[in-house]
Amino acid sequence: MKIDIISVVPELMESFFSHSILKRAKEKGLLEVNLFNLRDYTNYKHGQVDDYQFGGGAGLVMMAEPLVNAIEALQKNTTYDDVIFLTPDGENFNQKIANQLSLKNNLLLICGHYKGIDQRVRDHFITKEISIGDYVLSGGELGAAVMVDAIGRLLPGVLNDETSALMDSYQDNLLAPPVYTRPEDFRGWKVPDILLSGNHAKIEAWRHEASLKRTQERRPDILNED
Q: What is the CATH number of the domain that holds 213?
A: 1.10.1270.20
Residue 113 inside a domain? The answer is yes
Q: Are 109 and 144 in contact (CB under 8 A)?
A: yes
Mean pLDDT throughout 10-14?
94
Q: What percent of the chain has pLDDT over 90?
A: 84
Specify the pLDDT at position 33.
97
Is 18 within the bounds of a domain?
yes
C-alpha to C-alpha distance for 110 and 95, rounded to whole angstroms? 20
pLDDT score recorded for residue 180: 96
H or E element, residue 94: none
Q: Identify the CA nearest to 95 among candidates 161, 163, 146, 40.
A: 146
Distance CA 33, CA 206 (A): 39
> Are 42 and 117 in a shared domain?
yes
E-only strand ranges, the chain? 2-7, 32-37, 50-52, 60-62, 82-92, 106-111, 128-131, 185-186, 189-190
Domain with 186 in it: 169-222
Q: How far apart are CA 84 and CA 122, in angstroms?
A: 9
Q: Are residues 16 and 125 in the same domain?
A: yes
With cut-offs at 50, 70 and 90, classify the pLDDT of residue 166: low
Provide the pLDDT confidence category of residue 173 given band limits of 50, 70 and 90.
confident
Q: How many domains does the chain have?
A: 2
Is position 163 within any domain?
no
Note whether 127 and 70 are same-domain residues. Answer: yes
Nearest to 21 by CA among 222, 165, 178, 176: 165
- Cα separation, 94 vs 162, in Å, equals 20
Same domain, 148 and 94: yes
Does residue 91 lie in a domain region?
A: yes
**For residue range 176-223, what is the model confidence (pLDDT) as tens digits?**
899 999 999 999 999 999 999 999 999 999 999 999 999 999 999 988
Q: What angle do CA 150, 63, 127 make, to 5 degrees?
A: 40
Q: Which residues pair with 190 in a beta bridge?
A: 185
pLDDT given for residue 143 in this prediction: 97
Q: Is residue 144 part of a domain?
A: yes
In a domain, 176, yes or no: yes
The verdict on 46 and 78 lying in the same domain is: yes
For residue 66, what is the domain's CATH number? Answer: 3.40.1280.10
- The reply to whether 126 and 215 lie within a common domain is no
Closest CA to 122 of 77, 71, 163, 85: 85
The pLDDT tens digits of the residues spanning 80-112 come to 999 999 999 999 999 999 999 999 999 999 999
| Residue 212, C-beta contacts closer than 8 angstroms, at least 6 positions apart | 174
182 and 84 within one domain: no
pTM strictly above 0.95: no
Do the domain assignments include residue 141? yes
Same domain, 92 and 14: yes
- Calpha distance 100→104 (Å, rounded): 7
Residues 212, 116, single domain; the answer is no
What is the pLDDT confidence band of residue 160, given thresholds at 50, 70 and 90?
confident
